[in-house]
Amino acid sequence: MTVTSHDVARLAGVSQPTVSRALRDDPRVAEATRQRVREAAAQLGYVASDLGRSLATRATRQVAMVADLRNVLYPTLVEPLHDRFADHGYRMVLLAERGDDRSSYERLLDRSVDGVVLTTTLLRSSLSRALQERGLPFVELNRLSGRRAVDGVTADNRAGAALAARLLLELGHRRIGAVLGSPDASTSRDREAGFRAALADAGIELPEARTVHGGFGYADGERGLAQLLSSGGRTRPTAVFCVGDAVAIGALNHGKRAGLSVPDDLSVVGFDDLEMASWPCFQLTTVRVDLAGMALAAADRVVQRMAGAEGPARVQVFPTELVLRSTHG
């Protein structure tokens, strides 16, 4: 026989609405009553229904994270987001797809979640606009759409890329290349801009012949470095800046296959400082981003918005720092 909240109410000697409020720790219910209800629920083996609760309150207590898990950066955001939302009493659901997929629109705009964390936003994305028009609380994490009045959390990508450029310049490199991501992603756009600006300040050009645009994966790094090395001779770069660590690791692998010694023949610098960057087989010099801190800030912000917090939207920018390992010289 199915145990209901009415059964718990009879055993605890309270009304059914009091059972619902007590089991969600409503402060309007006295602690002694909450304890009596919890004991009755435990005795009967009653588990509160999230579906029933959502129908009663019109809140699902669920938050969606939209992520493209083909990019190894995004799984590093899942755990801190999940844990932070759990601390706030929310369940996180993962939409493992690109943010402009039609299925994302349907799942997010049907009000099956109370809020959204967008991690795959592109500058041309219309999903942020759709969520904004629908009034569904959301925050853009890592990448930004550039839309006005939208909450966001990101890294200081321009400053971080400038740190990488100045390191290579200080090491004496002048033939410098870059393997970059899609210009439609704010992270790639800003990292390229910061890197170019720092080189320009030193009177060094980053010509198109030593620039490759692609994606953010391992294979993109392999293809990118292969293209940069194809020119050969004195035009071949002696150092390469990569838009992300996965790209940098792909570049390291191709360099090894091409018979190059890193860092003697080629210096490689990444971005993000993913866990794998510190593995002994890579020891990648990179730009560190506080991904966990960014995830926690994004979770807190969307929870505030779901709770009704008003006020102007803001973009929180996290500082970056250079991490010196073994792939620069």
- CA dist., res. 197 & res. 30, Å (int): 61
Q: What's the CA gap between 22 and 19, in Å, rounded? A: 5
* Class of 157-288 in CATH: alpha beta
The chain-wide mean pLDDT, for the chain, equals 89
Residue 173 confidence (pLDDT) above 80: yes
pTM comes to 0.81
Token code pair at residue 127: 């999903």
Quick one: which of 167, 156, 237 has its CA closest to 198? 167
Domain extents for the chain?
5-48, 62-155+291-318, 157-288
Q: Which residue has the higher pLDDT, 25 or 139?
A: 139
pLDDT digits (tens, 9 = 90+) for 49-99: 544 544 444 567 899 999 888 888 888 999 999 999 999 889 999 887 654
**Of residues 319 and 67, more confidently modeled:** 319
In angstroms, the CA 245 to CA 287 distance is 9
What DSSP string runs through 257-319? HTT--TTTT-EEE-SB--GGGGSTTT--BEEEE-HHHHHHHHHHHHHHHHTT--S---EEEE-
Q: Do domains 62-155+291-318 and 157-288 have the same CATH topology?
A: yes
Q: Which residues contact 322 (CB under 8 A, 6 or more apart)?
A: 163, 164, 167, 285, 286, 287, 288
Task: State the pLDDT at residue 243.
Answer: 98
Q: What is the pLDDT of residues 269-301, one digit of tens each?
A: 999 999 999 999 999 999 999 999 999 999 999
The per-residue pLDDT for range 108-152, each reduced to its tens digit, is: 766 678 999 999 888 977 888 888 888 899 999 999 999 989 999
> What CATH number belongs to 62-155+291-318?
3.40.50.2300
- Of 245, 218, 194, 216, which is closest to residue 98 (Cα–Cα)? 216
Q: So what's the architecture of 5-48 in CATH?
A: Orthogonal Bundle (1.10)
- Token pair belonging to 27: 């402060």
What pLDDT does 23 receive? Answer: 81
- Nearest CA to 183 out of 263, 123, 268 is that of 123
